Structure formats: C-alpha cells, structure tokens
Structure 1
Amino acid sequence: MKHIFILLVLSSTFLASAQNVSRDTIIDDKILIEGDSIMFTLDDVMVLSKLKFDSTKEQRYYYWYWKKVNNAYPFAKLAAERLLQLNEQLKKIRSNSKRRKHIKKMQKFMEEEFTDKLKKMTRTEGRILIKLIHRQTGLTTFELIKEYRSGWKAFWYNTTASLFKLSLKSEYHPESKAIDFLIEDILQRSFLKGRLDRQKSRLAIDYLELVPKYKNIDIVEVINNRAK
C-alpha cells in the first residue's frame, strides 16, 4: 500500500470547455493530452503532520537532536556514494594485489575528505553517523571494516579516537527503536524542506507506516536514553 498522497485539482469548468478531453489519457502517474501531444508526470507529495510539542523543553531537545542528525547525515551519504564507487571499480580489477592497492588508495582519499571534519564531531553525532551508515549502505561500520579491512580499519580506528569508543556494530532499526525513529523523522522532514539531499536507504523503511506507532513518543526521555 502506498502511503503517498497525490493531490490533483482539475477545474470542472475547464473540463467542460476543453477540446478533445475524452481523448486525454491518464497512464499510472502520467497524463497524456493526445491533441497537443503533451505528457507530464505528477510528482508524489508526502504530507507530514505539523510538529507539536508538549513543552518548551521537548521542543528544545528535538531541535538540538535535529542539528546533530543534520550534521551527521551528509557524511553517511558520502560514505555510501564512495562505497558504491569502490564496489564498481573493484568489479573491474581481478588481481588481488591490485585490489588491495586500490582500496588503500581509496582509504587515503577518504581520510583527506573526512578526517578533519570527523574529528570535530561530537560523540552523539558519531553515534548517529554509525547508525546512518547502516541506513545508507545496508552494512554496519564493523561489517565494512571486515570487508574492506585494509582501507576501512585504519580509517575508523586510527583517525577518530572518539568514534573508536562507540560500537561499530550499531544497526539502524526505526521500526523497533524509538531513537532511530526520531532520526528517521528528522531526516524525512529535512528532505521535504530541502535541508538535506535525499539518498535512498538501502534498508526497507516505511516511515509513514511507523508514524502511528510513535505518535505518543516522549522525545525528552528517548533522547536522554539514546545510548541504551
């Protein structure tokens, strides 16, 4: 079941006066106007309920965490892009020694691209980042290290002491963890507002299906217990 709401408003006066209207065709989400040979696509629109807070404290907590998620997401998105790029390149390399050499080259590139900024991340942002890497790649940071040991191990363990203290096995489960749903809620709202560039998740997540489950979420409590 699609949880996308399409709003199509057509004036009855226009319909009555338009020529060849009976020859116009709607095909899935496209409208074909035969007489003018025009076809255009209707955009999907996700409608989210307006945020409501029970207290100023809850609002303050939400937007504090919103900032943390918005700071961490671009790095997870970029990591997913680099991983896809690396995988495509490795498919063309048959020699194991050349593959290892290429992974090390990618490691150096990522260190130059990420390291300084990652070192400035807070512990909370690092925790969110590890979860979002799982969301964007389908693999935990630990699994990425295991698969691309020569490149990723040094990157994660040697360049960021703060991230070293976090669990690199952390997974992203908004369907069962309230803190992960809160992250997903922030992402979806940030995507719609154009604050973040949407990148498809590698995990199967139906945000709108989860909304009713968490409608009474205690934001303050969830954020305070985020490390559990």
Structure 2
Amino acid sequence: MKHIIFILLCLPTFLVGQEDDFIEQDSTEVEYIIIQGDSIPQKSIYLDEVMILDKLSFKSKEDRRRYLILGRKTLKVYPYAKLAADRLNALNTRLQSLDKKRDKKKYAKKVQKYIEEEFSEELKKLTRTEGQILVKLIHRQTGKTTFDLIKELRSGWRAFWFNSTAYLFNISLKREYDPENVEEDYLIEDILIRASQNGQLKLVKSPLNFEYFKLSNKWSKTE
C-alpha cells in the first residue's frame, strides 16, 4: 500500500433567544429574533439544509450483508482520504507562496516524508478492497485520481510505476469515483451521507459533479 501513502448535515447549534417583546412599527406588531452574540434583531434566520433519507431496504440478506461490509470498509478508510485532501490543499497553498522551484521541490518532499512516516504502518494494514476504496475516495475528495496526484507531485514515470505495482494487488491508482455509473460507488456515497447525518464523520462536499438525490432516484429505479 506504499503507493497510497504519498497522496495522502448536522444542523449547527445556535443558542437562540426569542424576545417576548414586540417592536411596534406603524401600529403593526413584528416579532424579532435575537441570536446570541449578535446585537442586531432579525425577523428570520436561515438554517442549513437537512437531507431526509429513505429508510434502508434490501432485496436480499446477501445485499444487506454486502452493504454492511462495504460500510465498515468505507468508514475505516474515509479519514485517510479526507486527510490526504487536507494535506494536498495545505501543500498547494504553501507551494503557491514559494517562488523558487528548488524550494517547492524541497517542501513537497518534506511533506511526503511526513505523511509516509505518519501513516505507513496504518496503511499497510489495509486489505486490497480497502485500498481500492481509499483510491476512489481520494478522487472523491480531491477531484483528481491518485495516479494524477502522484504524477503532479513526483513524475509521470513514478506514477506509471506505482500504478503497475498496484495492479499486482488488484488496485488501480487511476480508478475514479463514479457513483452515477458504478453501483458500489453510489452505495459508498450513501454510506457517507448516512454516517454524516448520524454524526459518525464530518463529510466534505466533493468537487465532483454529482447530486446524491438524483443518484438515489436513478439507482432505486434499477433495483
């Protein structure tokens, strides 16, 4: 799994107090809301959108078992994918502040070494299936495949070599996250959405162009 190492709705809680008093304007009573920490009265407040999900249902015990196994594997590797995206964003931000190519290369190697030392032992424990899910989730989080990320941070040859090595373990670093056309990817997205609503993880919106409810409608019609 060493090739992976390199790349590594809930409502917000408002303490709201409502004024029992009414402010009279032109003989019209208007109720205002005071949000703690804000001195300006508001007539209304906006809350984050909440998804109402359908209850899980399965055609067979085998489908249910498959979903639960996929769920365990997905929740296990998602933190690594999220961290990879966070590291990448931090790396790109830092690189933009550096002018010299030598300094950029030096900093990139430093970050890669840090990631390897921090996560190498944990990533080695992943199974082949978990490794492939991680590769797809990295694409979900960053909008780029693991292959392309390695190519950007290292070289095209190194990316090719890592991809060829990954194939020995049935893992493709070029694998994309495609919940619109791949049922397993849709199930992974469903697992992430439900886990986010249950407070099991903090889900980051994907830069990829797909909408969960459109996917849900599509796949429910194919069942």
State the TM-score, normalizing by the size of structure 2.
0.76
Q: Which position in structure 2 is the counterpart of 1:171?
A: 176
Where in structure 2 are the equivalents of 1:153-192 lying within 5 Å? 157=162, 165-192=170-197
Structure 2 match to 1:101: 106
CA–CA distance in structure 2, aligned partners of residues 133 and 105 of structure 1: 21
Matched, 1:89 2:94: yes
1:215 is paired with a residue whose SS is helix
RMSD of aligned alpha carbons: 3.1
Aligned to 2:218: 213
- The within-5 A match list for 1:93-172 is 93-149=98-154, 157=162, 165-172=170-177
What 5-or-longer segments of structure 1 have no aligned partner? 7-16, 26-30, 219-228
Aligned residues: 194
Higher RCO (C-alpha under 8 Å, 6+ residues apart): 2
Residues 44/22 of structure 1: CA separation in 2 closer, same or farther (3 Å cut):
farther
Contact 2:166–2:172 (8 Å) recurs in 1: no
TM-score by length of 1: 0.74
Q: Could you tell me which of 200, 207, 210 is aligned with 2:205?
A: 200
Distance 1:205 1:18, change over 3 A: farther
> Equivalent residue for 2:30?
23
What residue in structure 2 maps to residue 68 of structure 1? 73
Q: 2: distance between equivalents of 1:163 and 1:130?
A: 15
Q: Provide the C-alpha distance between the structure 2 equivalents of 1:138 and 1:163, rounded to a whole number of angstroms.
A: 25
CA distance in 2, matches of 1:51, 1:18: 46
* TM-superposed deviation, 1:137: 0.6
Q: What is the match of residue 41 of structure 2?
A: 37
Deviations 1:54-95, CA, capped at 9 Å, x for gaps: 222221111011001111111110000000000000011111
User: What is the alpha-carbon distance in structure 2 between the residues aligned to residue 19 and residue 101 of structure 1?
Assistant: 63
Tell me the alpha carbon deviations over residues 141-196 of structure 1, each in whole angstroms, 9 at most, x when there is no partner: 0100110007xx59x949x9788651111111111221111111111111111111
Correspondence for 2:59: 54
What do the CA deviations read for 1:90-109 (whole angstroms, capped 9, x no partner)? Answer: 01111111111101100111
Report the AA paired with residue 130 of structure 1: V
What is the deviation of 1:43?
Answer: 3.1
Q: Which has the higher helix share?
A: 1
Distance 2:70 2:122 in 1: 19
Identity of aligned residues (%): 48
